[in-house]
Structure 1
């Protein structure tokens, strides 16, 4: 059986606390992506805050992916303002809330008959940057305020661009063009 989340969190803190000095010795960093899947212990402000309090090493950071925050209905700008000093990598991926589906199925009850599209839940879907609701210009402004100079990696999980290699390339190029204009 699965362990309680708080107990698993304790094991995570123990492991990462032992890893942190090795990372620091080699000037390396480890980033945690806040994907809200099963077993994810750091995907919300509560989880990250508790983690950084327990493991304050500057070697530990965040892979900032606003798409996951939007999907969870967490304000990605507020999150970035709180944790911007810990952002060591950024994913260029967006999310489109599906308001009609939210009305149809709600947020707490699984749909009875409908099935989600690939790279989607019932009330949201991942998109390339610019096709969702992330406010990228503001995201980049906040990142700049924190001195972020790292990469933005486009993570292509948009079902509209997963038909074939040409469509995938088009999705990456369109996402990059949009982000370049922000």
Structure 2
């Protein structure tokens, strides 16, 4: 689908916002998209996009670009940085308040060295964001597919690491794209984290997770090591659409209201059972919309 087709579809279903994928037009990432070519964005493009937003009554919750910003290869890291800068500037031109990204990790360096590099690199990104009236949000995914044996491929997935992130860069122009599903399989209390980091939560991903505790007891906290079917196959967890997993969304939304969060609640669709084609993807999105919408209305 084109971006306009996605806006039309979203409006038809009842969605009011989109988290817009903004990877480079040419890239090697799996599951990436490029709904907006930010590096070649013209004034005419901006006008057309804004006109379509009005036409379909759709806002953009964020522009999304998730790559390893601490990649050990300097050429690759510089290319990622250049593109993230373009995403930030595009968000400003489009009036989009948030840019979503990962921190990532240089697997050849220690954790302290990674945080030193994070502080240097992201201080620059945050300054640029502030100059463009945009905020950066970091999704709390460990990215086990980026590291050998399924170990964490980012330095930004737990409350311990969030504390270090915000200690290093205290600006309120950087915060979290809070995804409870990752905390769920890491056995971190996502409701308590929602309360504890309420001042740093800029955006919330509605994504669900099935955690098989019997398999967790078999594979252990580091997950499956043999016969993995794909890079993120740790053996005991499966991402699913909201409403088909372990998370009690009524309880979760109640805590969202408790902490005063009243911004975008964005369905992140990573359920492989609803991914074969556009019709299946739509089926998954609409199931989750119909699951979450009554919860939100009941609590108003």
Q: TM-score, normalised by structure 1?
A: 0.88
Q: How does 1:29-178 map to 2 (within 5 A)?
A: 29-37=135-143, 38=147, 39-108=153-222, 110-113=224-227, 115-116=228-229, 120-178=233-291
Report the CA distance between 1:155 and its aligned residue.
1.2
Judging changes above 3 Å, is the alpha-carbon distance between structure 1 residues 157 and 8 closer, same or farther for their aligned structure 2 residues? Answer: same
Q: Which has the higher contact order (CA 8 A, sep 6+)?
A: 1
Report the CA distance between 1:128 and its aligned residue.
0.6
Aligned residues: 181
Judging changes above 3 Å, is the alpha-carbon distance between structure 1 residues 6 and 145 closer, same or farther for their aligned structure 2 residues? Answer: same
Report the CA distance between 1:20 and its aligned residue.
2.6
- Give the corresponding residue for 1:19: 125
Report the CA distance between 1:111 and its aligned residue.
4.9
Judging changes above 3 Å, is the alpha-carbon distance between structure 1 residues 98 and 23 closer, same or farther for their aligned structure 2 residues? Answer: same
Report the CA distance between 1:120 and its aligned residue.
4.9
Partners of 1:28 and 1:178 lie apart in 2 by 31
Partners of 2:236 and 2:268 lie apart in 1 by 20
Describe the superposition over 1:116-168 as per-residue Cα deviations: whole angstroms up to 9, x where unpaired: 57975301100111111122222222222333222222111112212322111
Judging changes above 3 Å, is the alpha-carbon distance between structure 1 residues 13 and 98 closer, same or farther for their aligned structure 2 residues? Answer: same
Unaligned stretches of 5+ residues in structure 1: none
RMSD: 2.1
Unaligned stretches of 5+ residues in structure 2: 1-106, 148-152, 296-300
**SS in structure 2 opposite 1:130?**
coil
Report the CA distance between 1:109 and its aligned residue.
5.8
Larger Rg: 2
Q: TM-score, normalised by structure 2?
A: 0.55
- Give the corresponding residue for 2:114: 8
Partners of 1:23 and 1:109 lie apart in 2 by 37
Partners of 1:3 and 1:119 lie apart in 2 by 22
Describe the superposition over 1:38-85 as per-residue Cα deviations: whole angstroms up to 9, x where unpaired: 431111000101111221111001001111111111111011011111
